[in-house]
A and B are shown apart, each in its own frame.
Chain A
Amino acid sequence: MVACLRAPTGPYGRIVHLITHRASVRREVQIRRSAGAVWELVGDPARIHEWFPGIGSCSVDGDERVVTLGSGQAVTEKIITLDPLQRRFQYVMNFPLCREHLGTLDVIELDEQSCLVVYGTDADPATMALTIGGATGAALENLRDMLEGGD
């Protein structure tokens, strides 16, 4: 796929970027709750609609999850990692707007009372990585507000 930036280095010698058809976006949020408490919610694939704005409902059957977006579009995802020890959740999906997508959610303990939640989005086309990445950022903020509510 043709890159937007065809030169491998930046104009003054720094590597700028090679824009290909895919992109990787990372969003994160710090939450004043234990990693275990946060994982209890985000580590349950069937509960994503409880904290991810724009996902109206979801169902899980084995390693297959179907999420229904706010637009009404149903998207089938394949769960590839659900590791309660690392507290890592990963899924892949493809649908007409997105040829490839890997979502990675990590809950990292900071101390007994707080954790860092990182949501990675790798997608082709790159535009969808930004679009989905934007939604994951808003979801993480919502997750923080939900779990810290009442503090």
Chain B
Amino acid sequence: MARRKILFITTDQQRYDTLGCNGGTLARTPVVDRLAAEGIRYERAHPQSVVCMPSRATMLTGQYPATHGVWMNGVPLPLDAPSVAEVLRLDGYRTALVGKAHFEPLLDPFLRFAENAQSRVGTTPPGGSHRGFEHLELAGHGSLGPLHYPQWLAREHPEVVAGFYRVLDSSMRVNGQGGGDTDAPQVKVNPIDRDLYHTDWVADRTIGWLDSLGADEDWFCWMSFPDPHHPWDPPQSEVSRIDWREVPLPAGYTEDASERERVIDDKPRHWRLWYDGSLVSNYEAPASWVPATLTAAQVREVNALNAVECELIDEALGRVLARIAERGWADDVDIVFTSDHGELQGDFGFLFKGPYHVDSLMRVPLIWRPAQTSGVTPSVVTRPVGLVDLAPTFCSIAGIEPPSWLQGTRLPSDDLDADSRGFDSVFTDWDSELFGVDVHVRTVVRDDMLCTAYLAGTVHDGTEGELYSLTDDPTQMVNRWDDPAWRARRDDLIGDLADHRPEPRKPRLSLGAPV
């Protein structure tokens, strides 16, 4: 008897509130909304890192960043790291990764990383598999570079390559150049035909791989969309779906500058330093862009384009699900949808991401639509879960005993299940060391509280932190870290951070590139 198949869908940098099923009102996402209605929707899913490489490494390994060792973007996950895809492959599953991988650095003129060199040898990795995937077709955020998608564009459609936003500037830093109607950073009108854009390409290549499989084969497919991560350059033909002038400002954006700055000044010092353009401590945000210059119109336009990209993903997913139904697999497939981390998207006057552990970056969409044959009842889970829990969930779906190296637990099917199995807290780390500036952040979400401690470094002195009541303060505007009335709860949560931290990997892995 065939086992349950697994379609694992990730997007990149997509906030929780961008889906209709999570209360989003801007993007129409009927396909994901239907999956949520038929399955399990998680209201407090948190990544273990708010940047791509550590978070994706956690999804693949089922381990915390301290254990798998990818402590910041640019640190390559060792080739012999544990992989849930390899566990499934060795148990007979056919495996594929289509879209964005990013387990290894993207800036690689030496072409020394396997993922960057893969397109030169086709879609089958040398030796038959890479990190457990026997089929790889890879894409990034743009139209340049060695991955399959830009190579395909250069070969088949060279006329569209220049229409994309240039992700990096002439100094190979994240580009701060503005565009669109409002001159917002990382925004550009992209004249590309929709069907050539990477969102549709990922769906097309996923369908191509599924079509290559026999009807009775077990399979695990990680379909990994590069959007809605910046640059915000969706196909021009789709931009008119949402008039940015009509887009409401997000709840996390305070239009009054003095009030906005008062909120920021109540947070640890690196918030204001970035806002003023004095310190960009991480590579992922444009070093030349000063957040204080962000206008309400730019926030509206970025949110509009982001929503367009979310709609395109939803429609592309719909095509893949239709093909799965045509193959007769509809009742036998578990579908999991999530994102590696969020996006500030105007909250507090910022865009992009960095060492800022608030819901904008920390709360991600997570939906698990179990196979119809599993008999799972639709539900909503309000207890905190982590992306570290995905790998054990995949093992559970496949009926495989979870390997001992997994640090998460199979996702709960409802709150009762969550309570009975101790889903009460989630932990997220940030570590970065770049050009002489280091930032180290430790966060726990528990009991509707979000608590973040900053370790001593070149920016922080080790005494600063953030404490928010998620119930009373859903946009995290009031930092209660220094409030005596909250001290006991704060200290209890800090104790949790120390008690639950895994032993860090030794020796520490080295940075291979900035991203």
Query: Does residue A135 face the partner (Cβ distance < 8 Å to B)?
Result: yes
A130→B437 CA distance, assembly (Å): 14
Expressed in whole angstroms, the minimum distance between the Cβ of A51 and any Cβ of chain B is 13
Expressed in whole angstroms, the minimum distance between the Cβ of B75 and any Cβ of chain A is 9
A105→B287 CA distance, assembly (Å): 30
Q: How would you classify the secondary structure of chain A's contact residues: helix, strand, loop or mixed?
A: loop
Complex interface: stretch among A14-22, A34-42, A80-88: A14-22
A54→B117 CA distance, assembly (Å): 11
A54→B514 CA distance, assembly (Å): 17
A97→B510 CA distance, assembly (Å): 22
A4→B110 CA distance, assembly (Å): 27
Please determine whether B146 and A71 come into contact, CB atoms closer than 8 angstroms. Answer: yes
Specify which chain A residues have a CB less than 8 angstroms from the CB of B278 in the assembled complex: 5-7
State which of B110, B280, B434, B437 has its C-beta within 8 Å of the C-beta of A71.
B110
Per-residue interface assignment for chain A, residues 128 to 141, with 1 indicating a CB less than 8 Å from any chain B CB and 0 otherwise = 10110111011000
Query: Does residue A66 face the partner (Cβ distance < 8 Å to B)?
Result: no
Expressed in whole angstroms, the minimum distance between the Cβ of B78 and any Cβ of chain A is 12
Please determine whether B287 and A4 come into contact, CB atoms closer than 8 angstroms. Answer: yes
Please determine whether B112 and A138 come into contact, CB atoms closer than 8 angstroms. Answer: yes
Expressed in whole angstroms, the minimum distance between the Cβ of B477 and any Cβ of chain A is 22
Please determine whether A53 and B112 come into contact, CB atoms closer than 8 angstroms. Answer: yes
Query: Does residue B459 face the partner (Cβ distance < 8 Å to A)?
Result: yes
A130→B109 CA distance, assembly (Å): 12
Query: Does residue B79 face the partner (Cβ distance < 8 Å to A)?
Result: no
Query: Does residue B269 face the partner (Cβ distance < 8 Å to A)?
Result: yes
Please determine whether B435 and A17 come into contact, CB atoms closer than 8 angstroms. Answer: yes
Chain B residue total in the interface (Cβ 8 A): 37
Interface size classification for chain A: 35 or more
Specify which chain B residues have a CB less than 8 angstroms from the CB of A126 in the assembled complex: 171, 173, 435
State which of B109, B168, B511, B514 has its C-beta within 8 Å of the C-beta of A69.
B109
Please determine whether A6 and B112 come into contact, CB atoms closer than 8 angstroms. Answer: no
Query: Does residue A11 face the partner (Cβ distance < 8 Å to B)?
Result: yes
State which of A19, A97, A133 has its C-beta within 8 Å of the C-beta of B287.
A19
Expressed in whole angstroms, the minimum distance between the Cβ of B259 and any Cβ of chain A is 23
Specify which chain B residues have a CB less than 8 angstroms from the CB of A72 in the assembled complex: 111
Please determine whether A16 and B112 come into contact, CB atoms closer than 8 angstroms. Answer: no
Please determine whether B105 and A4 come into contact, CB atoms closer than 8 angstroms. Answer: no
Please determine whether B110 and A23 come into contact, CB atoms closer than 8 angstroms. Answer: no
Please determine whether B514 and A70 come into contact, CB atoms closer than 8 angstroms. Answer: no
Per-residue interface assignment for chain B, residues 171 to 194, with 1 indicating a CB less than 8 Å from any chain A CB and 0 otherwise = 111000000000000000000000
A144→B278 CA distance, assembly (Å): 41
Residues of B within 8 A of A (CB): 74, 105, 107-112, 117, 146, 168, 170-173, 269-270, 273, 277-280, 283, 287-288, 434-437, 458-459, 461, 510-514
Known contacts A16-B436, A70-B110, A128-B172; can you find 7 more A-B pairs with CB under 8 A?
A5-B279, A7-B278, A7-B279, A71-B111, A72-B111, A130-B434, A135-B112
**Which 4 residue pairs spanning A and B have beta carbons closest together?**
A54-B110, A17-B436, A70-B111, A54-B112
Residues of A within 8 A of B (CB): 2, 4-7, 10-12, 14, 16-17, 19, 21, 23, 27, 53-55, 69-73, 97, 125-128, 130-131, 133-135, 137-138
